[in-house]
Amino acid sequence: MTIHKEGRSLILITTLLVGVLLFIADQYATQYPWIFWLVLLIGGFFWMAFVQFFRLPSRKNTAEPHQWVAPCDGKVVVIEEVEEPEYFKDKRIQVSIFMSPLNVHANWTPCAGQVKYAEYHPGKYLVAWHPKSSTENERTSIVVERGDGKQVLFRQIAGALARRICYYVQKEDVLQQGQEFGFIKFGSRVDLYFPLGTEIICKIGDKTVGNETVIASA
């Protein structure tokens, strides 16, 4: 396991800040010993929380080319047929995965293929499970086309705590299945839109492991 690049500067700043506060608290330790331990407790809590949030575990992708893997850690909260209005403009099968602040927040490509569409949309910060978060929150929409012509749209959606979505791909890029394509800072969600007729292997309530759990096949 390593620390994700999106969190390294924040963890470094936190480490330096806690160190400075501990040094200052130590100067008053004789008179107020509780101050040192309070700073150590609070500072240690935030340091550990940031390390936990920005962790980047090593994952091994073993999916077949016709399968799609989960792009993130989390819990499946939606499986339904919907109208996808941004790119396909037709009916698709939507699978939504909610990511809590305790989940790994790196995002991996669910299949190999070429990026046909990649757009960032600024927006609101409704709670990630709000019905309108998919169309009104800060988000990115990325479409990847497999070699067999099948396309999937996956959308990073900011939550109430998230204030920055990071993505590292652009149109015409060729991606490998399981390649890291982005990161969402703090609570969030990822929606996927599959072609009708796709076999959805996961079910509502399932816990997913990004880049490992197979969620669909076609």
Closest CA to 122 of 72, 170, 156, 75: 156
**CA separation for the pair 203, 196 (Å, rounded):** 16
Residues 200 and 95 sit within 8 Å (Cβ to Cβ):
yes
The catalytic residue among 9, 134, 188, 217 is: 188
CA dihedral (9, 15, 16, 18) positive or negative? positive
Is there a catalytic annotation at residue 217?
A: no
Strands 165-167 and 214-217: unpaired
Closest CA to 95 of 137, 155, 143: 155
Residues 6+ apart with CB under 8 A from 154: 71, 110, 141, 142, 144, 190, 191, 192, 193
Residues 75 and 96 sit within 8 Å (Cβ to Cβ):
no
> 108: which strand partners?
180
Residues forming the active site: 188
